Structure 1
């Protein structure tokens, strides 16, 4: 009998506790911030060759086809710490780094799936970043990638990055890519 009373008391206490508890906090009225649109223009330098490689192979597939001559064959995973500059010249002003990874995800058409954080280290956006997670069909001269987030001045960012290949070495994979990014943030 005592065991039944204990179970009933515990059940009653649990029901009351659950009824009074909430898994969220109440919404407090705030002054909504106005959404801001920022346009960014910079160059991304992806270098696979030594001694100054900024992208390195971290996983390689077992190949059965003849595409092994590619610098990043289908299934390759690379980590990046690519410089971002104001101009296409690698010696132009450094404004940040693109850190993340990409996988060669196109079996028949060279395509990268990129997860990269573009962190800015100078100027108005110093300490802020935007994040891109998107498919990049690298053989297209112009392409569009999704901006899916950000931090700092780009908190809650969304947008689009329009890419234009400035130069590419098809033998070793080194590339310079122009980015025109439209970012919506608060």
Structure 2
């Protein structure tokens, strides 16, 4: 059934092209064929839980910084994440998705991460949709802003930004809960 749907979409897409692809590069496409509607702005708040230890860590350090790098910046460190996204700051609050990707310490002077992650939603009408965030996260700033660079599902052609605020941080374990306010334009 799904294959038939995709074949129909592809044939509609090609029939909407003005001329042959090899003759008309690039070719215009009827936006309605791709499901474009009126663009809307959606705001939501999720809590991102970065758990480094315990029985089931959600963040795993895969590259450690070289020994000659300042401990205050951890320059070169890379961690893969599969962090829970919840509606409240407590880990036991309702799970609405996961943040999957990585963060890497990208500054020699301060603790500042390059964040590259997908917010993968599995709740309600957004189930199966994703938002891609990629940007600079200076973790000791009260508010950090990072761009939304795309998405899938209901967030196809998404753009916008997120604001990150540390809710809690445990210096002993390194565990953190971060509030993400997401502002995303999508169709």
Bin of the TM-score, shorter chain as denominator length: 0.7 to 0.9
Cα distance between partner residues in 1 of 2:136 and 2:31: 38
SS in 2 for 1:179: strand
Which structure would you say has the larger Rg? 1
Cα distance between partner residues in 2 of 1:139 and 1:87: 22
Deviation string 1:50-86 (CA, Å, 9 cap, x unpaired) is 222100011122211451xx6x822111100000001
Structure 1 residue 106: deviation in Å? 2.0
How many pairs were matched up? Answer: 164
Does 1:54 pair with 2:58?
Answer: yes
Which of 17, 21, 25 aligns to 2:27? It is: 25
Q: CA RMSD in A?
A: 1.9
SS in 2 for 1:118: strand
Taking structure 1 as the reference length, the TM-score comes to 0.81
Moved more, 108-117 or 166-175: 166-175
Cα distance between partner residues in 1 of 2:108 and 2:120: 30
Cα distance between partner residues in 2 of 1:73 and 1:126: 36
**1:60-139 alignment runs, 5 A limit:** 60-65=64-69, 67=71, 73-139=74-140
Structure 1 residue 119: deviation in Å? 0.5
Deviation string 1:78-110 (CA, Å, 9 cap, x unpaired) is 100000001000000000000001101122211
Taking structure 2 as the reference length, the TM-score comes to 0.81
Name structure 2 gaps, 5 residues minimum.
1-21
Does 1:152 pair with 2:156?
Answer: no
Name structure 1 gaps, 5 residues minimum.
1-19
Cα distance between partner residues in 2 of 1:36 and 1:159: 11
